[in-house]
Structure 1
């Protein structure tokens, strides 16, 4: 019991030292360097109460308890458990804080202060971002220590009731922390990769997702030499790297955009090779037996599937519910039509409509608004008893035949948000809220009406021309942005105006009424 209790104390000492580093070193030196107060507070404001509690209250009590050890720890931890509420604002604001750090690391003055601290012995050669993860990981750590303490506690110990109650309270807080950590894990993985790649490529982005990694063999185009390489596949890029001689580090040899990428079978007779081709270059690759890429990349067709799964059109959850018709019901009942004025592009290929070359048509099977190229098919529909216009996707379902393969259609791929409808892979973005807002154009002359959708994690704002469009016109990664009330003299022609601002990037938005603005 004493050994576990002492581990609690030593662990707490180490944790308080890291909180001191965040609050008394990073935060203080950035303030002294005259970094804007709203930036520093946006990053560190929720650290101070956590640091003060652990430094002034919990650590001294643990020190006193171990000096006069009475074989009790549960009572102290039970009294401490309610203060875990201090962590809620920190965890909730973590994405915003991290976004500010990443944004401001691009500014020389901010970066110089942070990098100087990171080189100190106190910092342990770890980044500011790594130290900021400590409070998120701390609550689950208390749970593990307390479980270990309870296991070693005698059944008849008078400390058992207090320990069990403390464990119940801390476990409940740990569950909330673990849920937040799941969201942070993706970001943490990008952070690890950024370090493994020695910062050669900035992989940290709120809209980037890591998919898979592993060994691969590259065949040199000129010499035919077989070279060991390591691939990192993201939703928007593929990195081909060579292993470094020092530690688990890699040197980036080739960066390839997923946008427009194709994969085809190679011509090498000795190996089962495949060729990955992008705008930048083409690579001939194969997986040796024992390479740890797994089935996703061992076969070229599976890599292509992974690539194209992430070149999909983006739909938000509000659209998903309104456009879904199950395959079993297709053609058996009349669909609900999407209105013409609710879309500005073909809902299959995402090409923009115009009055001359690309007119609007409705698929009589699913009700989507599509272009003539995507609806140049006819099939008899059970609900009407007539042969009528249907889109390509519905045609193949109704015919019960295999649609063209990705390889057959890949040359028509238009980009990360513009994949041909034949792939039929929609990446649905579950949204927190959505609605129409007016946005001031770049010339600050005209207000344009757009449909905005905020992702459920609050990380990304998707901007559409119309609310049933399958492709976002553009996206705004929100970490690092602040909301301000503009000068009334700048917005005399509009009410209910607010701005999204990050460094030199400013978006001026206007709601229809005060209620929508306050949302």
Structure 2
């Protein structure tokens, strides 16, 4: 085999790239000896030479220690070829130092943008968050790149985007090292480690990969949106140590919940104030009047909450004793911060009252202006817009409800004598006054938002947001057709019942097959007549249809809501045209005394009305699509309960095939868990819709030997999540249980006077 021609170079060792001197040693062989002869001829005692250790003290004096008959243990450390797979913080630290040296010596081949980004991380590790004057002064003294002056502007621009990295360092646990006499991979005792804590790494660790479709599972996009098991496995011991360092008072964890949910809320506001603004400005798609109406109402709220979040972060830092430890006793409370900001927030009530107008005008403009409609739809496809866009416009009012609930929880926790009780009680009074003013507006806005969301997702109806119409329930039922039972999505409103099928083309929209007015409708159970489980018949003036639910519970929900809606329709004194106006593409009405067995047409099968002007790849985690895949339903009352049960925070997710746990930032909203690597990420890495899931504590057979773990299960799909405290564990169990179990009745169908009493 011949040699391969070419140019060869000697690769540098990691030590030489870090600036370490070349390896050298002192020979213990006598002149003329080699290693083999020395080993054969020397007595055994020769191998037990005394070991001499020199220790250089801080005053530069040197002490020599003689250690006799010492056995040295060799620890061999293997490094993966991909730096992104480095797990231990010390090896990441060495890798970061190597990057730093390679940048300075122009050994790292990369673009100017990449070099500037790397240097910005180095700046962040040296001086913390962005400060232009401090940055420029530091760059004058320290040279990270040969051409540093030329790209200094880019370096500063990148550093400006790194927010609160130093705050995160406080939450990092001690970095594990192992003794030569210990097996690699096991952390040393905490008391030993305290004197050996290494400086935090530079934070250059790459993002871990994400797997949204685990192998071996079904094709449904809802069944396997789980993060990869790669990365983040070695955190159990660190998490235990962190738990020991921080306060354990319940009030502290309630304050942490305020902080976590406030971070998520601010990110939600940025979807409108930063990302959507950028999209419409770039395309010049929004009229100036609408721009002013939208952003003049939400920008002041956003700026207020930015300052509010900083106050909460500072208070939690003091509470945890990370700074000013000598005065921390005066700061182990949150009521004064809440009271001060709730009083300030009252000044923004006028802005919140205009959100009704903002939503209405935005919807009108998107119908009227094709360019704005296109920008709107394209923006909803972006990762950062993880919910329907107009959902984010409801967040400011919904956030007030969260403040009310969490302040009520604090007041229940404190005794009347506690120094924080009075402030919490007064803050609760302030926010209760605001929510009372905005409660009816919120109900109206949530209904309008849901109608517009359905308007975008349904093909064959253009007047869904007609005045007076209220959404009641959506979900999957099986309709009896000439081909047997066929899956359909049903939508119940205060005046009519729609049924649709899901398109099989590129669009995930649902096409309307028919609509039934509620006036004159009758619903009765018909299991015996049709010999179909959970079956009931719907009689209307136009036609009669037979449907079946997936469970008896689902059948009960539909029949209860249908009967209540029918009763309310009977009491209605006005019969608006919207009740009887035919919808496009509706099948012709059949005889009222015979059951209509729907014929599957070619149009149904191929979904030819893909509607190119309305084509949109909608998310599979909207409630409409989740109900379709999970054979369930959701009412407007469920949506209202879900709004009250939103939660954010760090959780540990158990890997499927190992005992490791992965730390993730988790947001629970709209019946769905959204997973992020950190709270600073702009968009989720994956999501897990929870409709149909059951939350419980692990049983012995699950083999979970940790505290504060809850289990999520849907059929064969099982996930384990671990909280940091008893309070946090109970909160996650509570919000998931409440949001995924339906209320007994829908208050939206009560008469107006009863509804007023209910909401008050």
TM-score by length of 1: 0.50
Bigger Rg over Cα:
2
- Larger strand share, 1 or 2: 1
Q: TM-score, normalised by structure 2?
A: 0.35
